[in-house]
Amino acid sequence: KMSNEIVNVREYEALAKQKLPKMFYDYYATGADDQWTLRENIEAFARIRIRPRIMVDVSNVDMSTEVLGFKLSMPIMVAPTGHQKLAHNEVKCNLVESTIIMRCLGPSLGIFQVLSSSANSTLEDVAKTGPGIRFFQLYIFKNREGVAEVVKRAERAGFKAIVLTGDSPCLGHRENDIKNRFTLPAHLTISNFEKISDSSILQSKSDKSSLAAFADSQIDSSITWKEVAWLRGITSLPILIKGVLTGEDAALAVHSGVDGIIVSNHGARQLDYVPATISVLEEIVQAVGGRVPVFLDGGVRRGTDVFKALALGAAGVFVGRPVVYGLAVDGEAGVRKVLKMLHDEFEVALKLSGCCQVQDIKRSHVWTENDPLR
Ligand code: FNR
């Protein structure tokens, strides 16, 4: 099946499964423990109903929006996912990490990707791939001076924001990676932290996944909200916190001075039995009270999912796995197709709900289980 025969982003997952070695596919696709949250991320979207308004003039639809002052063509962005080189057809290709994805986003699509701390290429090489907005996702390693240096490198290389991931003091218990004894192929590494960490751990077999062994030995599990102030002291870039799942933490995040919040359960890869992100979005939006923008990721697979998230107060959404599957199945064409399908589906959702622009999407456009029966 080629990209031109595919009609929705889910189809890419099945094709990626056929195409990728099991160890790599499992790394992308699966979640922690019983994978309850993994299913719930999808099912919670399905339980929300849309309340469309009809007989509205939608002959002029504008899907553009602004994120931290950057104009985007649509409120859909690409989440940070590590080890994208495992997903490309020629695993040994010399293509710069994420070049393909980056090329699709900037000038042609007008959206952006957050580059993962677990990327397989240097952020300088990624920056060279052309124009476009780029954010850098940060894990705080034990070597704090080294981390500060990486943040400064990102700033120098033109990255526009730091996305601090707050949900990963250790790696989630991902049984598939453990069973597979996940190890990174010898030619790949986490390029931006190579100098300040022992990446050989990633390439060595252990009795768990090498990702977990690596995190245990290299990641600073003592970080707290104070680290936001520390980051402020070393960079002038806006700081987003990723991984917020409660109103309490949203309030602390705002208090710590972040510029934005990403409601995320890490694609259900960290703690199992946490709620779907779409189920807690509204609680967090209410706690934040408009002081900073709130974004969401986790289980976004349809334009209607984007619509639902915006109706519940998100300023935009990020997609993780679908983009990686598109990359795995059909390289650049696959990535483009995934983003185009989400774009087109979101446009139809807007029009059929009676909205001309993202600001027109109101809370009354959706019904959730917390609302009175209608
Ligand atoms: C991730 N995610 C992630 N998050 C992060 O902050 N740093 C990282 O390095 C990674 N790496 C990563 C790898 C892979 C293979 C996946 C699937 C996910 C989490 C990611 O940013 C995002 O939160 C989820 O992927 C969103 O859920 P969906 O869209 O995949 O359902």
| 5-41 confidence digits (pLDDT tens) | 899 999 999 999 999 999 999 999 999 999 999 999 9
**Smallest Cα–Cα separation from 268: which of 227, 320, 336?**
320
Report residue 107's pLDDT band, with 50, 70 and 90 as the boundaries.
low
pLDDT of residue 94: 41
Classified as helix, coil or strand, 85 is helix
pLDDT digits (tens, 9 = 90+) for 228-257: 999 999 999 999 999 999 999 999 999 999
Give the atom of ligand 1 at the shortest distance from the alpha carbon of 80: 21
Report residue 207's pLDDT band, with 50, 70 and 90 as the boundaries.
confident
Give the atom of ligand 1 at the shortest distance from the alpha carbon of 38: 31
Which ipTM score applies to this complex? 0.99
Distance CA 281, CA 292 (A): 14
Give the atom of ligand 1 at the shortest distance from the alpha carbon of 265: 23
pLDDT of residue 181: 95
Whole-number Å distance, alpha carbon 268 to ligand 1 midpoint, is 9
| Half-sphere exposure (Cβ direction) of 98: Cα atoms closer than 13 Å | 34
- Which residues belong to the active site? 266
Pocket lined around ligand 1, Cβ cut-off 6 Å: 27-28, 41, 79-82, 116-118, 137, 165, 242, 264, 266-267, 269, 297-300, 319-321, 324
β-bridge partners, 67: 70
Pocket test residue of 27, 37, 81 for ligand 1, highest count of atoms within 8 A of CB: 81
| CA dist 79 → 135, 150, 232, 236, 296 (Å) | 10, 19, 23, 22, 10
Whole-number Å distance, alpha carbon 17 to ligand 1 midpoint, is 18
Whole-number Å distance, alpha carbon 266 to ligand 1 midpoint, is 5
Whole-number Å distance, alpha carbon 371 to ligand 1 midpoint, is 30
Tokens representing 65? 């929006």
